[in-house]
A and B are shown apart, each in its own frame.
Chain A
Amino acid sequence: MLSRSADSLFWLNRYIERAEGLLRTLHTSYVLSLDKGPYVNDSWTTILDIFSGFSDDEKRRVETTSAIIVEHILLDPSNPNSLRNILTRARENARSMQDHLTKEVWEQVNFMYHRINSNSIDAQLTSGNEIAVIESVLTNCLLYTGILESTMFRGMSWDFMNLGKYIERCLLSIDLMEKQITINDLSEEKDILYWRHLLFSLSGYEFHLKNYRSQDANQNVVHQVLLNDLFPRSVLYCLQHIDTYLGNIVQANDPADPTGLLRQFGRIKSSVAFADEHMIRQTGVPQYLSRLRSDLYAFSSTLGQTYFSYA
């Protein structure tokens, strides 16, 4: 496969995964901002920090005006992380290697692009239909995942796409977790209401209620988001999938693995697979997370040098 195509496939899925994460987080923030509970003031912090182009001053100013925030996060062309920009980039990637996608996948990406750029979206937002807009685009992201799953041929395209998807998902889980614990540190006991924002954003609230009975919510959340391999947005789950797809790619391209990609990744994976929540809390969760992220960045750049260099 052309290096350029592999690069585009990888980024196409990173962008769509990012879009999905953005929408779920935005949805959570919006819904929680309507609850006048104990943590309501923090409901917009996470999304503004990760996905907005606002300065700290601006953030404080807009914090209570959901309409401005939603518009900025979804549509603002000057915000590099707005959904419109993310989907535009996803589509640019898809457009430049349609020969590696099925027609159905391409049409779905193209549809999402046209939808986010249509006038009807602006109209719906200004008429106060934020939730409906967020939900309909989110549904389309999920539809994309389904279309990919049921129409894409398995092979190198599929492997590169999934590699992108799980790397992005892993980084997003790390980011969201990190934001949530920097709002308040973990030294004091938090109840589940405090963690609702994170768990809804990762679509893991119900999973949490079903699976964790003990009262130590902090401990439980650390376990769920980092170490629970049954939870599809946990760091460990993502790493296991990266492992599979990376293995396929190395196998198909250069079975000798001259760059040691597999070893580099193996070190990252074992630092999670063989950890436990006590050890992580001893290291300090923020320190542990930021170490994990910088390791993943380094891995990503080796991956790029190995397979994506073409210009």
Chain B
Amino acid sequence: MERPTYRLFVLQIAEQQPIFYFNPINMSIRELLNDYTPAQGWDEMFDGSSVRPAYQPVMDRLAAMGFDAIQKYHAQAGELFMSQGVTFTVYSEDEGIERIFPFDIIPRIITGTEWAQVEAGIRQRLKALNKFLHDIYHEQHILRDNIIPAWLIASCPHYTREVHGINVPHDLYVHISGIDLIRGEDGRFYILEDNLRTPSGVSYMLGNREVTKRLFSNLINTNPVRMINNYPLLLHSILLSLSPRNVRQPMAVILTPGVFNSAYYEHTFLARQMGIPLVEGRDLVVSNHKVFMKTTRGLEQVDVIYRRIDDEFLDPISFKPDSILGVAGLLGVYRKGNVAIVNAMGNGVADDKAVYAYVPDMIRYYLNEEPILPNVPTYLLHDPEHRAHVFQNMEKMVIKGTNQSGGYGMLMGNKASQEEIDLFKKKITDNPREFIAQPIIRLSTVPCFLDGKLTPRHVDLRPYALCGPSGIEIVPGGLTRVALKEGSLVVNSSQGGGSKDTWIID
């Protein structure tokens, strides 16, 4: 009788697959590396033709492992993700397909010194953004002092009038953030965008590290890589610290839209790692200005909701009336202060791509400091001068919708056809507030193991920061997203991006 063993099965499948796709001859890593030609711009691993010192131990290790082993690990990594259910769902033609988030086994390395600057920059930025959100939903000094034009805020679809004047615990709005950074040709880090609503991907960051540990235990234990896996514990203690009720064991929950959401894996992962219930809207009910969940024991009061649902779906009474994902009456409870919502409602006004252009001004205004990490130069298209300049240089620009994410609704000027460019010009002229333009920046590259070869691919970096009453903690590392298509600068998972484990090495 056939008796497949449980754990080993993963490896068996991997071994059944043909291992050599392109390299019938057993090529050594040295040869692979000799073939590697860094693309134009900043390469993370190579400085000209020599390997940067931080990467040297990894390179030596890879060379010692040999090509076969790397091929095998590459296949195993995919199987590991699949068997653990680490998947996201892609929707096309009404049918959801589960995919793994492609993972590249060669880590991306950032030195401790570089990281210190990133950390300081993000900390400063988050402080300013928190102050901005408090200000904009209370006195609005920043508008009165003409730092940001009032019409820009008024025309932002995510400016939420309904939460004006609501006081949130510890005046904290952005508890969880994922601020995207890129590295330009000069090797400097730039802020690409702020994600202050429900940034996702942290489970992939942690999952990548677990896979690296399993596949390359000998590689990671000889390098002083900073630990990242206390993220769920930090998050848990922040959630509990926000409880409006002064009880010994406050009830914190994660609110998910359900199994059909593309980030569902992450929701279950975080619930498991924090040991808190994963609830859906239908599990919750509002009664007597409090939120309860329906349990086998009857109703139990909920104190803190880490929601993974956008604002407009949270409460059908106040926002979209046809949404069944949220909880009727939630906003009322929030206003009364009987429940904490994480991240706060209305944060979208601060990560609007047009408001982004004003974040350096916010830092100067609220903190009286100079920004540590620069923005990417941004053209606001309602300004006739900016617009004329952009229209003249369309092929050097990327146009982004101010309220789009996931790589949707954007135009890369260097790749677009004349029709597409004309179409965007017309859209911009009709609704200038809905678009911004930025010069195309050649993102830095890292070698990736693709089709049996090492080839340069563009990457960005999303570090995850947690703000609690006792300060801001930034997990040393983050998610390095890779644009897997050759020459592509779009790293979003919905656009065929992948990811890498990210090491901060001292």
Which residues of A are interface residues toward B (Cβ below 8 A)?
1-6, 92, 95-99, 103, 106-108, 110-111, 114, 132, 135-136, 139-140, 143, 147, 156, 249, 252-254, 307, 309-311
Q: Which of B1, B282, B283 contacts A139 (CB 8 A)?
A: B1
Q: Cα distance A79–B131 when bound, in Å?
A: 59
> Could you pull out 27 A-B pairs where Cβ atoms are within 8 angstroms?
A1-B295, A2-B277, A2-B279, A2-B283, A2-B296, A3-B283, A4-B294, A6-B296, A95-B85, A96-B258, A96-B259, A97-B278, A99-B271, A99-B275, A99-B277, A107-B85, A108-B6, A111-B9, A111-B83, A132-B2, A139-B2, A139-B4, A140-B4, A156-B296, A253-B297, A254-B298, A310-B282
Q: Which of A3, A111, A114, A147 contacts B296 (CB 8 A)?
A: A3
List residues of B (286-322) whose CB comes within 8 Å of A's CBs: 293-298
Evaluate whether A310 and B268 lie within 8 angstroms (CB atoms) in the complex, with A95-B85, A99-B278, A139-B1 already known. no
* B259–A310 touching, CB < 8 Å: no
Q: Cα distance A254–B298 when bound, in Å?
A: 9
Smallest CB separation, B260 vs chain A (Å): 10
| Minimum-distance CB pairs A-B, first 7 | A99-B271, A98-B268, A307-B296, A310-B294, A110-B85, A253-B297, A136-B2
* B83–A114 touching, CB < 8 Å: yes
Q: Which of A4, A98, A254 contacts B297 (CB 8 A)?
A: A254
Which residues of A lie under 8 Å from residue B9 when comparing CB positions? 111
Q: Cα distance A234–B3 when bound, in Å?
A: 27
Smallest CB separation, B500 vs chain A (Å): 24
Chain B: residues with Cβ within 8 Å of the partner, total of 30
Q: Cα distance A252–B295 when bound, in Å?
A: 12
Evaluate whether A3 and B83 lie within 8 angstroms (CB atoms) in the complex, with A98-B271, A139-B3, A139-B4 already known. no
Which residues of B lie under 8 Å from residue A103 when comparing CB positions? 84, 272
Q: Cα distance A161–B85 when bound, in Å?
A: 21
Q: Cα distance A307–B278 when bound, in Å?
A: 18
Q: Which of B6, B85, B276, B294 contacts A3 (CB 8 A)?
A: B294
Smallest CB separation, B493 vs chain A (Å): 19
* B282–A4 touching, CB < 8 Å: yes
Please name the residue on chain A nearest to B276 by beta carbon.
A99
Q: Which of B4, B82, B272, B283 contacts A114 (CB 8 A)?
A: B82
Which residues of B lie under 8 Å from residue A132 when comparing CB positions? 2
Q: Cα distance A2–B251 when bound, in Å?
A: 13
Answer whether residue B104 sits at the interface, using C-beta atoms and an 8 A cutoff.
no
* B4–A136 touching, CB < 8 Å: yes
Which residue among B9, B271, B277, B282 has the maximum number of chain A CB atoms within 10 Å of its CB?
Answer: B277
Which residues of B lie under 8 Å from residue A98 when comparing CB positions? 85, 268, 271-272, 278
Which residues of B are interface residues toward A (Cβ below 8 A)?
1-4, 6, 9, 82-85, 258-259, 264, 268, 271-272, 275-280, 282-283, 293-298
Please name the residue on chain B nearest to A94 by beta carbon.
B85
Q: Which of A97, A107, A156, A307 contacts B83 (CB 8 A)?
A: A107
Which residues of A lie under 8 Å from residue B277 when comparing CB positions? 2, 5, 99
Which residues of A lie under 8 Å from residue B2 when comparing CB positions? 132, 135-136, 139
* B1–A2 touching, CB < 8 Å: no
Smallest CB separation, B302 vs chain A (Å): 11
* B293–A2 touching, CB < 8 Å: yes
Smallest CB separation, A172 vs chain B (Å): 23
Which residues of A lie under 8 Å from residue B259 when comparing CB positions? 92, 95-96
Smallest CB separation, B257 vs chain A (Å): 12
Please name the residue on chain A nearest to B1 by beta carbon.
A135
Please name the residue on chain A nearest to B3 by beta carbon.
A139
Smallest CB separation, A254 vs chain B (Å): 7
Which residues of A lie under 8 Å from residue B85 when comparing CB positions? 95, 98, 106-107, 110
Q: Cα distance A136–B5 when bound, in Å?
A: 10
Q: Cα distance A54–B278 when bound, in Å?
A: 40
Which residues of B lie under 8 Å from residue A139 when comparing CB positions? 1-4
Evaluate whether A253 and B296 lie within 8 angstroms (CB atoms) in the complex, with A92-B259, A99-B272, A135-B2 already known. yes
Q: Cα distance A59–B3 when bound, in Å?
A: 33
Q: Cα distance A95–B86 when bound, in Å?
A: 11
* B6–A4 touching, CB < 8 Å: no
* B271–A2 touching, CB < 8 Å: no
Which residues of A lie under 8 Å from residue B268 when comparing CB positions? 95, 98-99
Q: Which of B1, B272, B280 contacts A4 (CB 8 A)?
A: B280
Which residues of A lie under 8 Å from residue B293 when comparing CB positions? 2
* B297–A107 touching, CB < 8 Å: no
Q: Cα distance A135–B3 when bound, in Å?
A: 9
Which residues of B lie under 8 Å from residue A95 when comparing CB positions? 85, 259, 264, 268
Smallest CB separation, A52 vs chain B (Å): 26
Evaluate whether A143 and B282 lie within 8 angstroms (CB atoms) in the complex, with A3-B294, A110-B83 already known. no
Smallest CB separation, A187 vs chain B (Å): 39
Q: Cα distance A4–B1 when bound, in Å?
A: 39
Which residues of A lie under 8 Å from residue B275 when comparing CB positions? 99
Q: Cα distance A136–B6 when bound, in Å?
A: 12
Please name the residue on chain A nearest to B256 by beta carbon.
A96
